[in-house]
Amino acid sequence: MPHSALKLADGPSRANLTHWRERVELAAIFRWTERLNMHEGVANHFSLSVNEDGTRFLMNPNQAHFRRIKASDLLLIDANDPDTLSQPHAPDPTAWGLHGSIHRLVPHARCVLHVHSIHATVLACLADSTLPPIDQNTATFYDRYVIDENFGGLAFEEEGMRCAGMLADPKKKVMIMGNHGVLVLGSDAGDAFNRLYYFERAAETYIRALQTGRKLRFLSDEIAEKTARELEDYPDQAEAHLREIMAILDEEGSNYAS
């Protein structure tokens, strides 16, 4: 049995904390996101639903750096509790506004990752934030994202509810947040992180292609859609991606799973 699997079964805080497997997986993607320099210091937030209707979720504590987050640090929050922000260890108000609204209003959004990663944010700052299919990675997201063109400031509750209203279509699992960053949905931590990773790669490819000043070669709509469907059906990639991330962290002696 891999060492990471042993940690999932025998985590040191498992006796005192619920949803230990989910905590460990979410902590791992915090660590890997920091390693890829897709973090924003002590800002930005990830959340993961742990109940059937998606309204109870794990999220990073307020003002904690992604590099230091451990499984036992994660907050367990109820999206339907109006007193959340007045309780001890309350989450960041913007995290509550955005993630709480999404988990309350968008049941298929099991995992929600929001970052200001460099290339996705550059894309979000363009007058036309469309991501055209120019290679396999960009084709992954063909007709599978929404563009928010009405940035309304920090994502307090009203802004969070507005964003949640744009995510009703289960096919649209990425929001390019105009003048802001990117938000990615997934069925679990591995699925969401895999999508975030490849969206940032796709945005980088497109931005670098634009920087050449040369004419771009676009895939046809038919090939782009075919490629996106094939990648959606590709077996076990997200699971393997997360498993390997956890294995590397374990080999390095990381304390993410504590």
Express each pLDDT in 45-58 by its tens digit: 999 999 999 999 99
Tell me what pLDDT residue 13 has.
43
- Structure tokens belonging to residue 218: 């676009």
Express each pLDDT in 202-213 by its tens digit: 999 999 999 999
Scored b (16 or more CB within 10 A) or e, 54-70 reads: bbbbbbbbeebebeebb
Question: 80: alpha, beta or left, given left = phi > 0 and alpha = psi -120 to 50?
Answer: alpha
Checking if the pLDDT of 31 tops 60, the result is yes
Checking if the pLDDT of 189 tops 80, the result is yes
Domains (range + CATH), the chain:
3-251 (3.40.225.10)
Average pLDDT for residues 34-42, to the nearest whole number?
A: 96
Tell me what pLDDT residue 173 has.
98
Q: Greater confidence, 1 or 229? A: 229
Checking if the pLDDT of 12 tops 50, the result is no
| Sequence-separated (6 or more) residues with CB below 8 Å from residue 186 | 110, 111, 113, 173, 192, 193, 194, 195, 238
Checking if the pLDDT of 9 tops 70, the result is no
Work out the pLDDT band at 157, boundaries 50, 70, 90: confident
Tell me what pLDDT residue 155 has.
62
Tell me what pLDDT residue 158 has.
83
| 8 Å CB contact between 174 and 182 | yes
Strand order in the sheet with 75-78: 75-78, 56-59, 45-49, 111-115, 181-186, 174-177, 145-148
Distance CA 194, CA 175 (A): 15
How does the average pLDDT of the chain come out, rounded? 92
CB atoms within 10 A of CB 192: 26
| Sequence-separated (6 or more) residues with CB below 8 Å from residue 197 | 36, 241
Express each pLDDT in 169-182 by its tens digit: 999 999 999 999 99
Work out the pLDDT band at 10, boundaries 50, 70, 90: very low
User: What residues pair up with 49 in beta bridges, in sequence order?
Assistant: 57
User: How buried is residue 89: exposed, middle or buried, by Cβ count under 10 Å (0-12/13-18/19+)?
Assistant: exposed
Checking if the pLDDT of 6 tops 60, the result is no
Tell me what pLDDT residue 87 has.
86
Q: Which of 77, 90, 72, 56 is nearest to 16 (CA)?
A: 72
Q: How far, in Å, are 33, 151, 163, 166, 235 from residue 159 at the CA level? A: 25, 8, 6, 11, 36
Checking if the pLDDT of 5 tops 60, the result is no
| Sequence-separated (6 or more) residues with CB below 8 Å from residue 203 | 117, 119, 120, 122, 123, 131, 182
Tell me what pLDDT residue 7 has.
45
